[in-house]
């Protein structure tokens, strides 16, 4: 696990976008696993800029998003489909039918979960999965719990997640209480993982993420056993890490 400390949000975003641009340039039909939240917005903006400069081409790329709120149609401004279209897909030359976000309104939600994992497998699996991290350590919507799910599933959101995400809604009552999310197995099957975090509010969870211990109550800690993980954080998110160098080799650096 490689931890890169960027000076600020802009540098974190650029470093992440560079990794994706280089990957897509080396494999034009890359399958990307994508995330929502405020953290990756700068990375999407930088990728849009690279597309406009013609230094990357998304025409053969396929994407699978981590999660979606249960009950929100893709036309709802707080749905993750809407977020992805507006912050990324509408501004690049990706083919819309190659972009996948789980449906939060499928009549048979269990079948939707099964077919989402099947579609990922049929595309040949995810080459690179982008992750943010919740303040409570969630990835996608895999919330802290005694047990975690392997596959895409429906989950109830924790109260602290509902509170954190209420900033995007008019009131806390409007925040959906459940979501569809890729499971930990789906995330771990990606050939490469790129986790981003920025700002002082993420410092505590980042120090718990890279401490060499795995705990299902910090779902993100499981990625420490993945063979190809890059964590890019800004200095504020890195403020509680012991060694303040540009690159930290974590306990599982054997895996690189």
For ligand GLP, the closer of residues 102 and 250 by Cβ is 102
Binding of ligand GLP by 133 (CB under 6 A): yes
Comparing CA positions, the residue from 66, 68, 88, 90 lying closest to residue 80 is: 68
**Catalytic residue numbers, as ranges:** 67, 136, 138, 143
**Part in contact with ligand GLP (CB under 6 A); list of ranges 2-10, 43-51, 126-134, 148-156:** 126-134
Q: According to the binding rule CB under 6 A, does residue 87 interact with ligand GLP?
A: no
- Min dist CB 59 to ligand GLP, Å, is 26
Does residue 34 touch ligand GLP according to CB under 6 A?
A: no
User: Is residue 134 close enough to count as binding ligand GLP by CB under 6 A?
Assistant: yes
Answer yes or no: are the C-beta atoms of 194 and 131 closer than 8 Å.
yes
Report the alpha-carbon distance of residue 195 to residue 250 in Å, rounded: 14
Judged by CB under 6 A, does residue 79 bind ligand GLP? no
Q: Answer for the pair 81, 51: CB distance below 8 angstroms, yes or no.
A: no
Q: How far is the CB of 195 from ligand GLP (least distance, A)?
A: 9
Give the closest residue to 224 by CA, choosing from 253, 245, 246, 200. 253
Q: Is the torsion defined by CA of 3, 217, 127, 88 positive or negative?
A: negative
Q: Does 140 bind ligand GLP (CB under 6 A)?
A: yes
102 binds ligand GLP (CB under 6 A): no
Residue 43 interacting with ligand GLP (CB under 6 A): no
Distance CA(70)–CA(156), nearest Å, equals 9
* Cβ-contact 179, 68 below 8 angstroms: yes
Q: Binding of ligand GLP at residue 36 (CB under 6 A)?
A: yes
N-term to C-term CA, the chain: 7
DSSP-assigned beta bridge partners for residue 64: 33, 100
What is the contact mask toward ligand GLP in residues 179 to 218, using x (rule: CB under 6 A)?
----------------------------------------
The residues pairing with 34 across neighbouring beta strands, listed in sequence order, are 65
Residues in the interface with ligand GLP (CB under 6 A) total 14
Q: Does 35 bind ligand GLP (CB under 6 A)?
A: yes
**Footprint of ligand GLP (CB under 6 A):** 35-39, 66-67, 132-134, 140-141, 161, 165
């Amino acid at each position: 696990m490689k931890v890169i400390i960027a000076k600020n949000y802009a540098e974190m975003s650029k470093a992440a976008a560079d990794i994706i641009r280089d990957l897509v340039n080396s494999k034009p039909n890359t399958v990307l696993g994508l995330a929502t939240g405020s953290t990756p917005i700068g990375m999407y903006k930088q990728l849009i800029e690279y597309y406009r400069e013609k230094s990357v081409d998304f025409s053969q790329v396929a994407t699978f998003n981590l999660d979606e709120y249960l009950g929100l149609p893709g036309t709802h401004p707080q749905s993750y489909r809407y977020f992805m279209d507006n912050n990324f897909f509408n501004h690049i030359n990706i083919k819309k039918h190659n972009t996948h976000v789980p449906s939060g309104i499928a009549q048979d939600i269990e079948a939707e979960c099964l077919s989402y994992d099947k579609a990922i497998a049929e595309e040949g699996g995810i080459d690179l999965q982008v992750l943010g991290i919740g303040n409570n350590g969630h990835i996608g919507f895999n919330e802290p719990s005694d047990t975690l799910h392997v596959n895409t599933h429906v989950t109830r959101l924790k109260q602290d997640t509902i509170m954190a995400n209420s900033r995007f809604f008019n009131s806390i009552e409007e925040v959906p209480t459940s979501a569809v999310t890729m499971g930990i197995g789906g995330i771990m099957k990606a050939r490469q993982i790129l986790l981003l975090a920025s700002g002082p509010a993420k410092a505590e969870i980042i120090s718990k993420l890279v401490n060499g211990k795995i705990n299902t109550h910090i779902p993100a800690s499981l990625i420490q056993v993945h063979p190809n993980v890059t964590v890019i954080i800004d200095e504020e998110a890195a403020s509680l890490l012991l060694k303040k160098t540009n690159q930290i080799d974590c306990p599982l650096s054997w895996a690189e």
